[in-house]
Chains A and B, each alone.
Chain A
């Protein structure tokens, strides 16, 4: 009989191994899924794990998807650590895209390319503004930031719809719900020709590093962490919970808005109803798979970008449904949460199987999980 027993101290090694284990489990489940769908598991897995690396163009696509995930994921990692559950990054992403588009639409072909800077700033400010609605409602009325930020995603989507169907619609666009194409100078500079990868990747990597530095090495970041790990300790230290709430919302909102700006001024080049591509939600998984660390998010953003591209390839090559990407993401998060059990517990093989009694459920329940059930004075 397999038995889970608690560890005396959480295993640090398992904390790092758990994402790898989760990935292995996910790959195995996915192979099984391909087989069930009547496809060759080897071919299916190759689409996900080999093809996205084949050639400069493919790598460019990979980084193009990873950059927004990394930006949003780093912000969410900080926010979640501070116990501020901003799950509406998608809405902040849209708000950022809208503000960036507003600036980009003012440009003409003769505008200086430095307009990219105001565009990106507008995006970040837009994301912050959207997130500050959540912060203000929580601060003033104690509204749940989870619900408010999530609901604001749908408000942002409606706002985007209103603008592209209405005031901002391209008069020469044959009635399609989209703005006119932005002028060339607004285009985010590419890194190398022949690939769509742009400076957004460099920006994302730099900001992830900065987010790590802020979280691990600055006093304000430390206060944010303490507030998340233990609110009474933060009160004891004299850290303001309000400040933590606002800081977490503004950082994660700003980074999501910046990602939105990079998306509209980068690969899209105009505003359409299809701007929200789910990056804001996928980034939640990025943050968790990256162990709520901005540095971990670098790896996990590329992993989830891989899933995204693999999913698209599976659609076009194997005629599998679009939802395969979501299934993969879900399986990864699910396996990760399962693997995380092993950080606090270990699996043991128990040979002496006692007579099955109705109490076996109680036996599991009475394992000393909470501190008050620990023996007195246990280390």
Chain B
């Protein structure tokens, strides 16, 4: 009898069918992958199993018995546990206190601490139960979530994109733990879009595309390419890219220090790098290691840095604001599209104004001119939007990103800083956006890409920096980039690999 069985589960949201009669089954002790692109409906399906979302139709059976829909408590009582992509931990409490919140009825705090120690030893997940959560790294926080789930002795464990926040080394540790769990008889549903992980870990996979099951495969018998084809429904587009021809220095950051309270972010210390015309420089790292602060410092938002300087084409812009930096040819494309790069409740033509103050005349808006320009950009860059009057909030993630990129690149900037360019964007649009960045580079612009997607960085960048704990690693040239080395560096272990990237002398010249 299968541990978990889904029969024709369907869930519709306004405008989109998230799950379209999805059926699948998971045997006891099996590690089963649910594979699919962003937006394929994986997360919704998991929330349905866990009882957080009520399906419109369909049946869920656990060990042959129907599972009540929409009752997380009932699901937990029957042994379903879930570790979410986004953690739900109280930062000011200790690990044990956090876990106790969920399991307090059965045990006392001291006995729970003993149990946590034992479990973290058994499963090879080193963790001190009495440390405060705000002191923990992201990987450690995930262990807390996992241990919390394991204490309930689950029969079915759901993991939603668990490796998106982990360094490569931590991933193999997690896999060991999961295999051990499976040997003990726990079934695991592993949600991911990373093919190599699925091949390494899972016996069977259910592939979702646009809410439907398009394939049921044994990942180990497939190639990465065939899995990708199943997932995307088409050959993944290739990036065309000639070697870089680096030119003059466009952006120089010298020994930058940004002070932030630990609870609020990651302080930056001694951050130095150079960005040249005609190159794409990547910044790899696990989120929360100072990317946000680095981007804010480059944008000129908020307080000026505590020390160090930022030079744009040789001119000191350390103490200038976003408007002046933009006027000097620096364009920043943030990862938060809605709410930061665009205002959801305003039409696209008004969103143009956000970063294009030159489009007003003596302080007054010219609606017809703005509408024309917006319509032209929408057409040129194949943005699917009704027209220039469409609200920014009505566009899909990919189309909104296309619009924002078009708005910024239309100014022919000399330096472009872009964060997570293809995060949450469908495959087709992502390929288009990456190609645009390469074209931009070839036309002589300097491009800095901050991303957590290592594959993207490796395919896109001419050189790479790694950020960890608010510090930048030495620069890695195209031939020096390897996933292992970058993985080690993500934990800050670049040691004395080389002198700091940018020489101070270069900046001041």
Write the chain A residue with the least CB distance to B43: A376
Instruction: Give chain B interface residues in 384-407, CB to chain A under 8 Å.
Output: 391, 393-397
Residues of A contacting B354 with CB < 8 Å?
A: 226, 233, 236-237
Q: Is the CB of A379 within 8 A of B322?
A: no
Contacts of A216 on B, CB cut-off 8 Å?
A: 365
Given the known A-B contacts A222-B353, A238-B323, are A379 and B15 also in contact in the complex, defined by CB atoms under 8 Å? yes
Q: B351 → chain A, closest Cβ, in Å? A: 9
Which of A5, A233, A363 sits near B339, CB closer than 8 Å? A233
For residue B148, CB closer than 8 A to chain A, the reply is no
Docked-complex contact A377 and B39, CB < 8 angstroms:
yes
Say which residue of B18, B40, B364, B394 sits within 8 Å of A9 (CB atoms).
B394
Q: How far is A66 from B22 in the complex, measured between Cα atoms in Å?
A: 60
Query: Chain B residues with Cβ under 8 A from A41's Cβ?
Result: none
Quick check: is B301 within 8 A (CB to CB) of the other chain? yes
Task: Tell me whether A219 and B364 are in contact (CB under 8 A).
Answer: yes
Are B44 and A236 interface neighbours, CB within 8 A? no
Is A363's CB under 8 angstroms from B301's CB? no
Task: Write out the residue numbers on chain B whose beta carbons fall within 8 Å of the beta carbon of A220.
Answer: 363
- Residues on B lying within 8 angstroms of A by beta carbon are 11, 13-16, 18, 38-44, 47, 52-54, 68, 70-72, 86, 299-302, 321-323, 326, 332, 334, 336, 339-346, 350, 353-355, 357, 360, 363-365, 367, 391, 393-397, 424, 426
Evaluate whether A376 and B42 lie within 8 angstroms (CB atoms) in the complex, with A236-B354, A363-B54 already known.
Answer: yes
- CB neighbours (8 Å) of B11 from chain A are 375
Contacts of B345 in A (CB 8 A): 229
Does A362 sit within 8 A of B, measured CB to CB? yes
Q: Which residues of B contact A6 (CB under 8 A)?
A: 14
- Inter-chain contact A226/B41, CB cutoff 8 Å: no
- Report chain B residues within 8 Å CB of A351: none
> Which residues on B sit within 8 Å (CB–CB) of A330?
none
Q: In the complex, are the beta carbons of B344 and A235 less than 8 A apart?
A: no
Asked if B13 and A374 sit within 8 Å, CB to CB, the answer is yes
- Whether A217 contacts B365 by the Cβ 8 Å rule is yes
Q: Answer yes or no: A110 CB below 8 A from chain B CBs.
A: no
A219 B363 Cβ-Cβ under 8 A: yes
Q: Contact string, A263-297, partner B, CB cutoff 8 A, digits 1/0?
A: 00000000000000000000000000000000000
14 contacts between A and B (CB under 8 A): A8-B14, A8-B16, A9-B15, A9-B393, A216-B365, A219-B365, A233-B342, A238-B323, A357-B68, A363-B70, A376-B39, A377-B424, A378-B14, A379-B395
Binary contact readout A80-94 vs B (1 if CB under 8 angstroms, 0 otherwise): 000000000000000
> Are the CB atoms of B424 and A238 closer together than 8 Å?
no
Contact A229 B343 (CB under 8 A): yes
Cα separation A348 to B395 with both chains bound (whole Å): 26
The prevalent SS among residues of B at the interface is loop
Judged by a CB distance under 8 angstroms, whether A368 is at the interface is yes
- Determine whether A230 belongs to the interface, using a CB cutoff of 8 Å to chain B: yes
CB distance from B328 to the nearest CB of A (A): 13
A368 contacts B302, C-beta separation under 8 Å: no
- Distance between Cα atoms of A216 and B426 in the complex (Å): 34
Smallest distance from the beta carbon of A13 to chain B beta carbons, Å? 14
Chain A min CB distance to B235 (Å): 21
Complex CA gap A7/B367 in Å reads 29
For A230, what are the chain B residues with a Cβ–Cβ distance below 8 Å? 339-340, 343-344
Hey, which chain B residues are within 8 Å of A222, CB to CB?
350, 353, 365
Which A residues contact B (CB, under 8 angstroms)? Answer: 5-9, 216-220, 222, 225-226, 229-230, 232-233, 235-238, 357, 359, 362-363, 366, 368, 372-379
Residues of B within 8 A of A7 (CB): 14
How far apart sit A220 and B394, CA to CA, in the bound complex (Å)?
A: 25
Residue of B nearest to A360 (CB): B70
**In whole angstroms, what is the CA distance A364 to B350 when docked?**
35
Sample of 15 further A-B pairs with CB below 8 A, known A5-B14, A222-B365, A236-B354: A217-B365, A219-B357, A230-B339, A233-B354, A235-B322, A238-B301, A359-B70, A375-B18, A375-B43, A376-B18, A376-B39, A377-B16, A377-B424, A377-B426, A379-B394
Point out the residues of chain A lying under 8 angstroms from B339, CB to CB.
Answer: 230, 232-233
Query: Which residue of the partner chain, among A232, A233, A372, contacts B86 with CB atoms under 8 Å?
Result: A372
Which residues from A are CB-within-8-Å of B341? 233, 236
Cβ–Cβ < 8 Å partners of B367 in chain A: 217
**B342 contacts across to A, CB distance below 8 A:** 233
A242 → chain B closest CB, angstroms? 12
A379-B16 contact, Cβ under 8 Å, with A232-B340, A237-B354, A366-B52: yes
Q: Would you call A378 and B15 a contact (CB within 8 A)?
A: yes
CB neighbours of B365 from chain A (8 A) = 216-219, 222
Interface centre among A5, A222, A376, A379 (most CB of B within 10 A): A376
Contact B394 A375 (CB under 8 A): no
A185 to B355, CA, bound (A): 51
Asked if residues B340 and A233 are in contact (CB atoms below 8 Å), the reply is yes
Question: How many angstroms from the CA of A362 to the CA of B52 in the assembled complex?
Answer: 9
Q: Judging by beta carbons under 8 Å apart, are B14 and A377 in contact?
A: no
Give chain A residues whose Cβ lies under 8 Å from the Cβ of B72: 362
Instruction: Compute how far the CA of A366 lies from the CA of B364 in the bound complex, rounded to whole angstroms.
Output: 44
Can you name the residue of chain A whose Cβ is closest to the Cβ of B365?
A217
The residue on A at minimum CB distance from B47 is A373
Given contacts A229-B345, A377-B39, A379-B396, are A237 and B322 in contact (CB under 8 A)? Answer: yes
Query: What is the bound-complex CA distance between A359 and B71, given in angstroms?
Result: 6
Chain B residue, CB-CB nearest to A372 = B86
CA gap between A230 and B477 in the complex, in Å:
39
* Given A232-B336, A372-B86, also A8-B363 (CB < 8 A): no
Given that A218-B365, A219-B360, A235-B302 are contacting pairs, would A375 and B13 also be in contact in the complex, using a CB cutoff of 8 Å? yes
A41 to B119, CA, bound (A): 73
B50 to chain A, nearest CB (A): 11
- Report B214 CB to chain A, min CB distance, Å: 16
Bound together, the chains give a CA A9 to CA B386 distance in angstroms of 13
Docked pose: A225 CA to B396 CA in angstroms: 23
A89: min CB distance to chain B, Å: 25
The verdict on A376 contacting B340 (CB below 8 Å), with A238-B322, A366-B53 known, is no
B39: nearest residue on chain A (CB-CB)?
A: A377
Point out the residues of chain A lying under 8 angstroms from B424, CB to CB.
376-377
CB of B389, distance to nearest CB on chain A (Å): 11
Query: Are B397 and A377 in contact, with the CB atoms below 8 A?
Result: yes
Cα separation A217 to B397 with both chains bound (whole Å)? 28
Give every chain A residue within 8 A of B364 (Cβ-Cβ). Answer: 217-219
